[in-house]
Chains A and B, each alone.
Chain A
Amino acid sequence: MNWEVVIGLEIHAQLATKSKLFSGAAVGFGAEPNTQTTLVDLGMPGALPVFNKEALRMAVMFGHAINAEIGMTSVFARKNYFYPDLPKGYQTSQMDHPIVGIGHLDVTLEDGTTTRVGITRAHLEEDAGKSLHEDFQGMTGIDLNRSSTPLLEIVSEPDIRSAKEAVAYVKMIHSIVTYLGICDGNMAEGSMRCDINLSLRPKGQKEYGTRTEIKNVNSFRFIEKAIYTEIERQADILEDGGRIIQETRLYDPELNETRSMRSKEDANDYRYFPCPDLLPIVLTQEYVDQIKSTLPELPNQKATRFQNELNLSEYDASVLSSSRPLADYFEQANSITKDAKLTANWVMGELSKLLNQAQLDINESPVSADAFGTLLQRIKDNTINGKTAKDVLQAMWDGEGSADDIIEAKGLKQVTDTGAIEEMIQAILDANTAQVEQYRSAEADKQKKMIGFFVGQVMKASQGKANPAIVNPILAKMLKG
């Protein structure tokens, strides 16, 4: 049968606040267990939460970025369940009145098409601690460093129809939260995690099928693979005449399969109710507007500007705007070259190649945007040609100095003196009389092919320093005889 996949995503983005959502404890990854905790994070009797207003500001920024309704009165609620790493026996979250209401996102896919994904809501909540099951002689260790870390849970509508769309959507959210500076986007450290709600239905059917939820998938690649795997699993069951059980599943990247964690029957009744320890958050329009005015240019806006003002192609614009550090690098280099096409080609080409080989992010590049821009400038002003520039970039990457230093030290400056070039060409023509004869007796279109031999000889003789723009017309003229 022809199945249609229906996907809704819940993304947990850890907000980049200095301290926790309800306490002054520092937020950070990798500290000694239980060293980043206060009475509140430990769930001590009598301890009370105090709301971190920085998390509020970040949530409102996100709301603006997805064109959402901002919850002018939002309420924290308690989600009650027992778990050893949940110290209070409840998670403080938002239920009926989230800080961010209905919004949407236009997601550009690889083939250039755009699809709109509705966002149901985004709410603030605290993270739980961690249970450690190894090295405790059969007991469980509890680390509460992560307890009360602020999360923004972004819930999409079931508008996603493929793994590719899902990944493009998550990448878009990733790009927005990092642009806003409200999340470091580090998925390996769990700063962004994704729950996938997925069901199948026969194409054309209106009602949704029974869905499963795949918890805590933490990379773009795993999201894609988990979705493919789960589609296949559900399709196999349905095609054998079976039924999907509504349940929570876990994706195992090593085996590339999803496994059942708990079924709906085991599901908790979370007994949500408004948290009596925290007052409702009541916003003023002034506050909401003020935050809107601090919003940076967002990826979509930037891509549009790159197309309209810099005449970049849609593809180049979307790649270069996909991450803020990449866009910043490009724009900084471009401010020196004033040649967007050249800069875009080199950032997406040679620089990206070097970064990929070294597995570095753009903000870790050993060649700064300024240095890179200066290098490209030397192509533009004919100091070096493109081929030489690749070598210079490699030398810069290896720490040998600035583009100008390297060009100077290695004597790579292009020869643009026509007299010198004419001499060089004459010597080559004299040494290759047979080829010159052949050329002169050939037809015009054959000549075009044959001229390459002479250009190559000139470049070889000049050690690549002869400027092709000057060599080509002189060579053509001298070959004519």
Chain B
Amino acid sequence: MFQQNIATLAQQLRNKEISSVELTQHFLQRISQFDENLNSFITVSESQALEQAKAADAILSQGKGNNLTGIPIAHKDLFCTQGTLTTCGSKMLNNFIPPYESTVTQRLAQAGTVTLGKTNMDEFAMGSSNENSFYGAVKNPWNLDTVPGGSSGGSAAAVAAGLAIAATGTDTGGSIRQPASFCGITGLKPTYGRVSRFGMIAYASSLDQAGPMAKSAEDCAHMLQAMAGFDQNDSTCSETATDDYISNLNSPLSGLKIGLPKEYFGDGLDSNVAKIIMDAVKEFEKLGATVKEISLPNLQLSIPAYYVIAPSEASSNLSRFDGVRFGHRCENPKDLMDMYTRSRAEGFGTEVQKRIMVGTYALSEGYYDAYYLKAQRIRRLIKQDFVSALEEVDVIMGPVAPTTAFELGSKTSDPVAMYLEDIYTLSVNLAGIPAMSVPAGFSEKMPVGLQIMGNYFSEAKLLNIAHQYQQVTDWHTQTPNMAKGA
């Protein structure tokens, strides 16, 4: 059952071949069987999930509901869920039970999904390996000695191992695409403003965007259809009308113009990964696409720009975790300053503290122009690079990450190497365009993701392209050995 796609399961649910309760029990059983090794969930909401499944069955029995009704999914633990622990992977929020529901989880619940639980993540979404979680590292189901990527590593590992049909993720600098690539699943980071950020615990507000993670582009389309759209609670959410992501999936690709940025295929890219990406591009040519080399000249600048802008916003966004109203408060504070400093020193992990300090420094008087303002200028250049390139071609393709999943602990002592992991993903967030990671093959038994980047609000096009590719390839249907059986 765990290998089925949403459309098939929806059909079976409607035909009463299975019930949502059975489906939910199946996944809960798989979580209890496999997640001890993976650590992909922080919270499993068993009884609540079964109640939601019953409610979904009731709707289905009246012949109502839609493709998501009764489908068990998981949420990254930074979406606020009313009454359910929401930690953001941090000790700081080890006791935080939100009094409200995020727009994303609300809309998916409205569509009838069943929430199995909340998935593990890098603390406050800061990380590329999921090793920065207060709740322990997540393991990659393809090789338990390697990382699943981050920060949505729990969601990626859970979907790859068949512990949930789909999951929500968030992507600030690659946090959906890179773990999707490492775990061999499909992930979409929508255009900034396509999905509401209301109820998402903020890391870097101008970059954060929620998106779906699932086995296939088709399943992502079902998820996005429910998630996307204007929300009056988020001033940065776009009023641009959503497309029909599902009915667009089957458009032919003939005449599609693909751009390959030469900067994405330079030094630092693993040769096996490069070959797999080029093979995937050849598949598209067979489907009628044409390929052209393009240039995104400011790619290298995306890392310093990102690591100024994101920490700057984070340093401010994370100020509310002060021990006053919610979250961790130190024992017996002797005065206000002691309460602030100890609560925050105890509650935040090393990487979060590091980024708060970097951001505080970058925004300080006397440094602001040299760091924050300069980074914003680079950001405009990067955006312009994409805008110009996308006048020449329909989509841009390249690798998601320079390598496949690396070993746990191998980069934790080298932050620059860790930050370089994001070289191909960061610029997309700085520009605000949508991008996907699509399984494109295996290098030494580890999955490799192809990145497809498109113009603003071209999610339907990206999903269509990925879906057509998945009609002629089966990389997205593979199951890791550890998750087979049951």
Contacts and interface: CB of A to CB of B under 8 A. Distances in A.
Interface of A: 39, 42-51, 78, 80, 82, 84, 87-90, 142, 269, 271-273, 276-279
A142 B324 CA distance: 9
A271 B316 CA distance: 9
12 contacts: A39-B100, A43-B325, A44-B326, A46-B79, A46-B102, A50-B233, A80-B319, A88-B319, A89-B319, A272-B363, A273-B316, A276-B206
Nearest to A277: B205
Contact of B80 (A45, A87, A272): A45
Given A273-B363, A277-B205, A46 B325 contact: no
Contact of B372 (A46, A47, A49, A273): A273
A282 B233 CA distance: 19
A51 B236 CA distance: 11
Contacts of B312: 273
A140 to B, nearest CB: 8
B325 A278 contact: no
Contacts of A80: 315-316, 319, 363
Contact of B198 (A46, A271, A279): A46
B399 to A, nearest CB: 29
Nearest to A88: B320
B407 interface: no
Contacts of A278: 235-236
Given A50-B235, A277-B202, 16 more contacts: A44-B80, A45-B88, A45-B326, A46-B79, A46-B102, A48-B198, A51-B235, A80-B315, A80-B363, A84-B324, A90-B316, A269-B364, A271-B315, A271-B368, A273-B363, A277-B235
Given A45-B88, A273-B368, A82 B319 contact: yes
B96 interface: yes
Interface string B65-92: 0000000000000111000001010000
A438 to B, nearest CB: 88
Contact of B201 (A46, A50, A84, A276): A46
Name, among A42, A51, A84, the residue most crowded by chain B CB atoms within 10 Å (CB to CB): A84
B215 interface: no
A51 B86 CA distance: 27
B139 to A, nearest CB: 27
A89 B318 CA distance: 8
**A-B pairs with lowest CB-CB distance, top 9:** A89-B319, A271-B363, A276-B205, A276-B206, A46-B199, A45-B201, A43-B320, A46-B80, A269-B365
**Which label, helix, strand, loop or mixed, suits the secondary structure of the B interface?**
loop
B202 A46 contact: yes
A148 B190 CA distance: 31
A46 B235 contact: no
A273 B206 CA distance: 12
A277 B232 CA distance: 13
Name, among A42, A90, A277, the residue most crowded by chain B CB atoms within 10 Å (CB to CB): A277
A45 B320 contact: yes
A45 B93 contact: yes
A46 B79 CA distance: 8
B320 A89 contact: yes
B241 interface: no
B315 to A, nearest CB: 8
B436 to A, nearest CB: 24
Contacts of A272: 363, 368
A273 B235 CA distance: 18
A84 B199 CA distance: 22
Contacts of B463: none
A87 B325 CA distance: 8
Contacts of B313: 273, 276
A272 B316 CA distance: 10
Given A39-B100, A45-B88, A277 B322 contact: no
Contacts of B79: 46
B100 A48 contact: no
Nearest to A142: B324
Contacts of B336: 84
A50 B232 contact: yes
Interface string B354-377: 000000100111001000100000
B383 interface: no
Nearest to A279: B235
A138 to B, nearest CB: 11
Contacts of B319: 80, 82, 88-90
B319 to A, nearest CB: 2
A375 B6 CA distance: 83
Nearest to A270: B365
B234 interface: yes
Contact of B99 (A39, A88, A271): A39
B316 A279 contact: no
B197 interface: yes
Contacts of B204: 276
Nearest to B196: A48
Contacts of A48: 197-198, 233-236
A457 B450 CA distance: 113
B480 interface: no
Contacts of B80: 44-46
B23 interface: no
